[in-house]
């Protein structure tokens, strides 16, 4: 099975309501190739209004950047998967390194978030990736393996088929320092091999694995050209429609 090529924008905590509508509209006004699946992961306040803009455009889907691990209840300030689904969300980023670092999200917590998202038919974009000290110590492959085993590999095969993985080395996020295409390929091949060992070749070959970390119009083509890189999760460059669409057109 040919896997999906995906470019997902992670707006993080950027764009006011009007700015968000403008950005989404200008992305929609531009050409998106048929074979590429585009996802826009916006702050919560934008979801409903951007869903209304996206409705007619089947190749652009809506994503959120987080969800809670419980179904509902007294969790002030939090948002549940059922709420996200009710405004047209299809994907949710889980385990972004910023949430792991600034909100102390552990592997165990992320496993519960993954379960809760799947129980509400949201597709997790599960992030993994090492920091600079781990990369320099040479233990990055083992580190990412542990992240996947702790938060994803409890899933059944049919549940795992709904997962998109994003490899985002922390040392490359927002730093302007991109992993080389070879470094990305090496880790993506490792991740695919781990999926193969756990779920078999068919699942491994059909899982989309995205690269994230200072991905830009100038380097996307080379990175996406690697055999195990199926697209990107884009931060800074997703905030400008021109740059984002150039990346979308980089396959």
Beta strands in the chain (DSSP E): 5-10, 36-41, 60-64, 91-94, 123-128, 164-167, 209-211, 231-234
Let me know if 96 is a catalytic residue: yes
Question: Which residue minimizes CB distance to ligand 13P?
Answer: 235
Piece of the chain touching ligand 13P by CB under 6 A; list 72-80, 107-115, 182-190, 212-220:
212-220
Of 63, 129, 212, 231, which one interacts with ligand 13P (CB under 6 A)? Answer: 212
**Owner of token pair 């707006």:** 11
Of 174, 182, 200, 202, which one interacts with ligand 13P (CB under 6 A)? Answer: 174
Residues 214-233 that bind ligand 13P (CB under 6 A): 214-215, 233
Kindly name the residue from 96, 120, 188, 190 that is annotated as catalytic.
96
The interface mask with ligand 13P, positions 28-67, x = CB under 6 A, is: ----------------------------------------
213 scored as a contact of ligand 13P (CB under 6 A):
yes
* Tokens describing residue 18: 């009007």
Residues facing 38 on adjacent strands = 7, 60
Let me know if 242 is a catalytic residue: no
Least gap, CB of 181 to ligand 13P (angstroms): 16
Radius of gyration of the chain (CA): 17
Kindly name the residue from 98, 105, 130, 168 that is annotated as catalytic.
168
The answer to whether residues 164 and 152 touch, using CB atoms and an 8 Å cutoff, is no
CB atoms within 10 A of CB 206: 14
Q: Which residues have CB under 8 Å from 64's CB, separation 6+?
A: 41, 42, 44, 47, 79, 84, 89, 91, 92, 93, 122
Q: Where does this chain bind ligand 13P (CB under 6 A)?
A: 10, 96, 168, 173-174, 212-215, 233-237
Q: Which residues are catalytic?
A: 96, 168
């Amino acid at each position: 099975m040919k896997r999906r090529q995906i470019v997902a924008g992670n707006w993080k905590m950027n764009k006011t309501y009007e700015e968000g509508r403008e950005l989404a509209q200008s992305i929609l006004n531009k050409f998106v190739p048929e074979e590429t699946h585009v996802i826009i992961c916006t702050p919560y306040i934008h979801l409903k209004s951007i869903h209304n803009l996206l409705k007619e455009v089947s190749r652009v889907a809506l994503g959120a950047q987080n969800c809670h691990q419980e179904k509902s209840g007294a969790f002030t300030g939090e948002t549940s998967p059922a709420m996200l689904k009710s405004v047209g969300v299809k994907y949710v980023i889980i385990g972004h390194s910023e949430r792991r670092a600034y909100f102390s999200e552990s592997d165990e917590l992320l496993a519960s978030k993954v379960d809760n998202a799947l129980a509400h038919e949201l597709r997790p974009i599960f992030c993994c990736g090492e920091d600079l000290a781990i990369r320099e110590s040479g233990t990055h492959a083992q580190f990412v393996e542990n992240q996947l085993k702790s938060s994803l590999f409890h899933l059944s095969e049919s549940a795992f088929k709904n997962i998109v993985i994003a490899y985002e080395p922390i040392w490359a996020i927002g730093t302007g320092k991109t992993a080389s295409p070879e470094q990305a390929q090496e880790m993506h091949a490792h991740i695919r091999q781990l999926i193969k060992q756990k779920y078999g070749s068919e699942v491994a070959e059909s899982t989309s694995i995205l690269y994230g970390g200072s991905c830009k119009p100038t380097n996307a083509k080379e990175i996406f050209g690697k055999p195990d890189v199926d697209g990107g999760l884009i931060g800074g460059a997703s905030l400008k429609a021109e740059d984002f669409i150039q990346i979308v057109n980089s396959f």
